[in-house]
Chain A
Amino acid sequence: MIVLRVLLYAVISLVTVFLVILLGERGAWYFAWVLGTVMIVLISAAGGALLDAQEEAGSSDD
């Protein structure tokens, strides 16, 4: 399982590096969109998970 995860992250890294090379100077805004969208989605998802943690911490305090 760990090997699979490492492989997955390696593939994501490769795709990112490939995109940087492909888009380079000419497609800087496209690359910014890819990075920005991934970041916005992950921050939003993290916000949801954080709310669960806050609610659990609140209920255990009670």
Chain B
Amino acid sequence: MGNPSEFPHSVPLGLVIPAELVGDVVGKLHYVSEQLAGFRISDSRDTVQFRLKPGQEAQRALVTERLREVATKLCRSYRSWGDKVLVSRPREQFACQEDPHPALEREGQIFRYGNGRYGLGPHMVALVEAFDRQFLRTVESFSPEAHQFPSIIGGDILSRCRYIKSFPHSLSLVHHLREDLEAIQGFAEQAEWGGDHLHVKPDSLAPPETLLSPTVCFHCYAWLADSKQTRPRIITARGKCFRFESGNLRGLERLWDFSMRELIFVGPKEFVLEQRQKVIDASTQLLDRWNLSYEIKTATDPFFIDDFSQQSSFQRAFDLKFEVRAALPYKPGGSVAIGSFNIHQDFFGRSFSIGTIDGQPLHTGCVGFGLERVALALVAQHGLDPAGWPPGVREDISR
């Protein structure tokens, strides 16, 4: 039971949250209300206990209703699947058991700028760069075309692929000021940092045209939009990605702003499926070379509440997503997704009108590695001292 003084309010949900769904439900409850100060799901998984911010008791009924709504929608039509594990590299003993974040901060290897925003020091940069270089070497035989994409992405692109509807909670909008002398001068005069946010007059802002890009591959599909492809394509790019994750943001485990290396496939269904399997095999060799403990297993994307049940069921049913989950020894039984292998079927082919010569929508797939998370997993499992890192890692850093 939660301490009543910590969580004075309770919401009986009228259902028991399936154990496999607890993480998804907790992840979404952060978005229920700005007045929610904290919450927990009861051990019996049938109640949410919560507390409100001071002076917000009038919001209790509304928050209660929303907590129940979110839990009900996420659990509706839930099917128990069981994980399909493709690769498993368990380990009993780790060189390190402690959360590396405090030591990384002390030693100047990470610097926290704010919620979900971290800078990296030399050792962490060396890991990020070495993994990225080695991944590119690993997939050299695919002869990928190298691309570079912007960090901001048009709202039209995100709208075209339904991202705005399926993941509204993680959007980061980009504003510039209205091209209006009075608005700009007024903004410069009045805007000020208010302790935790910038005070601005909303009417000085131009309507958002762009957002911070949540992923790399959308730019690729927009590049190929309204085209007929005469041959399969394999493209690679590294980019900054941005996903606002509210109370779920936590150290390097979950950043608002992170770096991702992607390999993207566009072609017939069989081609995309075959490439994904080849990259899974190649990535396994790299992860083993880095002596990481991990699993590659089925997963789903964090769709928002209304799309969650159906979209995640669809992903599971068709084995569309596999994640590399690296062990985090400082969290018993815990892990972090450092990469994923995704099939989109013809979703992006249809959404962006990318077709064959005879007009059939092409299939797509992508593989992505979150580079800061790879670095975190490595130091969490092998410690902060480069001398103690696996030989494969040290070799890749020096190459």
Q: Do the two shown chains form a genuine complex with each other? A: no
Interface of A toward B, CB cutoff 8 Å? none
Interface of B toward A, CB cutoff 8 Å? none
